[in-house]
A and B are shown apart, each in its own frame.
Chain A
Amino acid sequence: MNNLAKHDAQTTAGPRQVLVVEGLSRDFGGLRALNDLDVTINEGEIVALIGPNGAGKTTFFNCVTGIYTPTEGQIFLYDANGKKQLLNGKKPHIITSMGMARTFQNIRLFGDMTVLENVMIGRHCRTHAGIWGALTRNARTRREEQDTIDRSYALLETVNLAHLWNESARNLSYGAQRRLEIARALATEPRMLLLDEPAAGMNPHETQELEALVRDLRSRLKLSILLIEHDMGMVMSLSDRIYVMEYGSRIAYGTPEEVRSNPRVIQAYLGESDDA
């Protein structure tokens, strides 16, 4: 076991990997939604995952975050010390506490709760107060709670929502809800952030702000970001690397320039549905 850990630990030279997916497949009955997919994300990288509708991008997120169990393949996440950990078979909340956070394509906020409370929920896996603490409200619990509130508020400032902190989440505009989802995901203190179509439904101005936010998160928090997006302008300007999927398989990957000039990509994706 010790040997294995030593073997799996990365050397400091070269880019440090964060997420490694090997041969991932997922079947839904007869449908193969993911087919033998290999993906690697390095520390501090912004990577885009693109592909036509139904290509299996969201399914990939769901497998990586433990919501679906993969049919085949392995998913590894490196922890802060560079130790490789297998995610297969782990419950979603464990995976989140290991440093993986996500947003949802069809926004899944807690609509009846306030904006601040939504972010506070994200702190759940980093805090400890239990029932006893809730009943006695001892000093430790109160300190932890105030800390949760302050950090959550600070995150709201990061995504420019602080002025709306006491509003019900369901009353926010579409763009604001997407940013709130990002803040909530950040509250779990991730190393790897998965964004599922964060710019969907945003106007051009909001999209630009989002781009700046993603860049800021990468540089300031050293986050690795994997993003599914249909807005090609954003994908091309943001990403260090791009993976292209079609019918569950990876059909191309590389830098934006490489992908842009790849004939298979042009045929499969950019050519036919340049804006769906």
Chain B
Amino acid sequence: MMRPVSKAILASIWFMILTFPVMGIKLNTVEQTVEWQFDRIILLGVAIFFLSLLWNWCFSRKGRGLPLIALPSGMGATLGRLCSLPLRDSRSRAVSLTVLLLVMLVMPLVSSFYQTNIMILALLYVMLALGLNIAVGIAGQLVLGYVAFYAVGAYAYALLNQFFGLGFWACLPVGGLLAVLFGLALGFPVLRLRGDYLAIVTLGFGEIVRLTLLNWTSLTGGSGGIKNIPGPSFFGKQLSIEDNTIFIYYLVLLAVILTIVVITRLKNSRVGLALQALREDEIACEAMGIDLARVKLSAFALSSCWAGFAGVIFAAKSTFINPASFTFMESAMILSMVVLGGMGSIVGVVIAALILILAPEYLRAFSDYRMLIFGAIMVIMMIFRPQGLVTGERRKYRINALKGEQA
């Protein structure tokens, strides 16, 4: 009992010394005096003392293999049952999915323009995170420059529209296809790389794309970006801004549903199994007859196409794009969604994407501390639940036991 307390005291003293120059000294530039703010330092010390105790307590529970929050007996079980109730059997699952779908369908009709816009953004990120989940979560290829494919999609639409007058619907498949081509272009040279090396190369790739967009001023308009990108036409006619937003909302919702269906099917297929095997052991994969080059390229292609689609929709939604929307921060954000959600888990990634985009929007009061909170959440998750929110999503198989008739 003594050790945690003395450790906490040490931590708080250390913190007080460390933050003293920033928190404790205030220069009054008008009167040219120095104000000492010892009260703030003391408060900080006390806070750190208790935080440190809490931290220690969490670790000791983790060390003994206990859950962080122990609900009183009975309550935990009831809560678990309540949570799994909507998923218990296929009927209740259908009911809860229908309810969710209805809520999503009604949402833009009852909520404000502003909220619909945020929801569009959140759904776009769901799409991006699901796409990256193929490469990182399922196939284990650490791609750090994913936002480059998003940029490819967005600029494909913006440029094709500006120079050739192509509409949204024509550009949607083109954007996806171009992103796939870029994915393959990145995939070929990195076939032999894995882990850290792959991460560094893909990081560089993301930066190259962004810098090209930034500096090729004659084509892309540089940091000024491209303005007046039209929204999608609705059976041939352009919509007003308000209607356009609602239309795009439904479009993205449909795209997300499609993405979930496609990726679920993919994950549960022969190709998906090979992708998962790739994540676990490349040598064993080869020895089992899997063509590594082909599977890796599929992973890159399948992953990047969603970013391409999302990029086209993003350009149509925001009507203005510039390279500032495609920085490494975005890639890191999307990657965080995959990691937080649980590598390879589709439900987990959707939830994580929604949380990471919606929470900052609805917690504007804390917007100054956004990155601080984000960082803290990541650290805490990595220590206490490194496998992510949702794990153990497993496919069910039907066995027709063929007794006697073997291989």
Q: Which residues of A contact B (CB under 8 A)?
A: 65-67, 91-93, 96-97, 101-102, 104, 108-114, 116-117, 120-122, 124-127, 129-131, 133-135, 137, 141, 144-146, 148-151, 153-155, 157-158, 165-166, 184-189, 221
| Complex partner residue of A110 from B280, B289, B402, CB under 8 angstroms | B280
| Complex partner residue of A127 from B262, B270, B394, CB under 8 angstroms | B270
Chain B 247-266 interface mask (CB, 8 Å, partner A; 1/0)? 00000000000000010011
Is the CB–CB distance between A186 and B407 below 8 Å?
A: yes
Is the CB–CB distance between B272 and A134 below 8 Å?
A: yes
Bound together, the chains give a CA A65 to CA B288 distance in angstroms of 10
Q: Is B141 an interface residue (CB 8 A)?
A: no
Residues of A with C-beta under 8 A to B127: none
Bound together, the chains give a CA A205 to CA B280 distance in angstroms of 31
How many residues of chain B get a CB closer than 8 Å to chain A's CBs?
Answer: 38
| Minimum C-beta distance from A271 to chain B (A) | 34
Is the CB–CB distance between A111 and B286 below 8 Å?
A: no
Given known A91-B291, A92-B286, A149-B398, contact A131–B271 (CB-CB < 8 A): yes
Residues of A with C-beta under 8 A to B287: 65, 67, 92, 96, 101-102, 104, 108
| Minimum C-beta distance from B294 to chain A (A) | 9
Q: Is B201 an interface residue (CB 8 A)?
A: no
A selection of 17 A-B contacts at a CB cut-off of 8 Å is: A66-B286, A111-B280, A116-B397, A117-B273, A121-B285, A121-B290, A124-B273, A124-B274, A126-B289, A130-B270, A131-B266, A137-B265, A146-B400, A150-B399, A187-B288, A188-B288, A188-B289
Is the CB–CB distance between A125 and B288 below 8 Å?
A: yes
Q: Is B116 an interface residue (CB 8 A)?
A: no
Residues of A with C-beta under 8 A to B276: 110, 112-113, 117
> Of all chain A residues, which has the CB nearest B392?
A168
Q: Is B358 an interface residue (CB 8 A)?
A: no
Residues of A with C-beta under 8 A to B289: 93, 96-97, 122, 124-126, 188
Residues of B with C-beta under 8 A to A97: 289
Is the CB–CB distance between A125 and B269 below 8 Å?
A: no
Residues of B with C-beta under 8 A to A141: 269
Bound together, the chains give a CA A150 to CA B398 distance in angstroms of 9
| Complex partner residue of B290 from A65, A112, A124, A221, CB under 8 angstroms | A124
Q: Is B277 an interface residue (CB 8 A)?
A: yes
Residues of B with C-beta under 8 A to A104: 283-284, 287
Within 8 A of A (CB), among B269-311: 269-274, 276-277, 279-281, 283-292, 298, 302
Bound together, the chains give a CA A146 to CA B273 distance in angstroms of 14
Q: Which residues of B contact A (CB under 8 A)?
A: 262, 265-266, 268-274, 276-277, 279-281, 283-292, 298, 302, 394, 397-403, 405-407
> Of all chain A residues, which has the CB nearest B284?
A108
Is the CB–CB distance between B284 and A151 below 8 Å?
A: no
Given contacts A67-B286, A124-B290, A129-B271, list 16 more A-B pairs with CB under 8 A.
Answer: A96-B287, A101-B287, A104-B283, A108-B281, A108-B283, A108-B284, A110-B280, A112-B280, A121-B290, A127-B270, A149-B398, A149-B399, A150-B399, A154-B402, A154-B406, A221-B407
Is the CB–CB distance between B394 and A150 below 8 Å?
A: no
Bound together, the chains give a CA A153 to CA B277 distance in angstroms of 18
| Complex partner residue of A93 from B286, B398, B407, CB under 8 angstroms | B286
| Minimum C-beta distance from A139 to chain B (A) | 15
| Residue with the highest number of chain B CB atoms closer than 10 Å, among A126, A137, A154, A158 | A154
Bound together, the chains give a CA A51 to CA B67 distance in angstroms of 50
Is the CB–CB distance between A134 and B273 below 8 Å?
A: no
Residues of B with C-beta under 8 A to A92: 286-287
| Residue with the highest number of chain A CB atoms closer than 10 Å, among B269, B288, B292, B298 | B288
Given known A108-B283, A124-B290, A145-B270, contact A131–B402 (CB-CB < 8 A): no
Residues of A with C-beta under 8 A to B302: 131
| Minimum C-beta distance from B56 to chain A (A) | 31
Residues of A with C-beta under 8 A to B398: 146, 149
> Of all chain A residues, which has the CB nearest B272?
A134
| Residue with the highest number of chain A CB atoms closer than 10 Å, among B268, B272, B407 | B407
Is the CB–CB distance between B402 and A150 below 8 Å?
A: yes
Is the CB–CB distance between B401 and A148 below 8 Å?
A: no
Bound together, the chains give a CA A148 to CA B280 distance in angstroms of 21
| Minimum C-beta distance from A246 to chain B (A) | 26
Is the CB–CB distance between B288 and A121 below 8 Å?
A: yes
| Minimum C-beta distance from A202 to chain B (A) | 20
Bound together, the chains give a CA A10 to CA B399 distance in angstroms of 41
Is the CB–CB distance between B271 and A130 below 8 Å?
A: yes
> Of all chain B residues, which has the CB nearest A65?
B287
Is the CB–CB distance between A110 and B266 below 8 Å?
A: no
Residues of B with C-beta under 8 A to A150: 399-402
Residues of B with C-beta under 8 A to A153: 399, 401-402
Residues of B with C-beta under 8 A to A122: 288-289
Residues of A with C-beta under 8 A to B262: 135
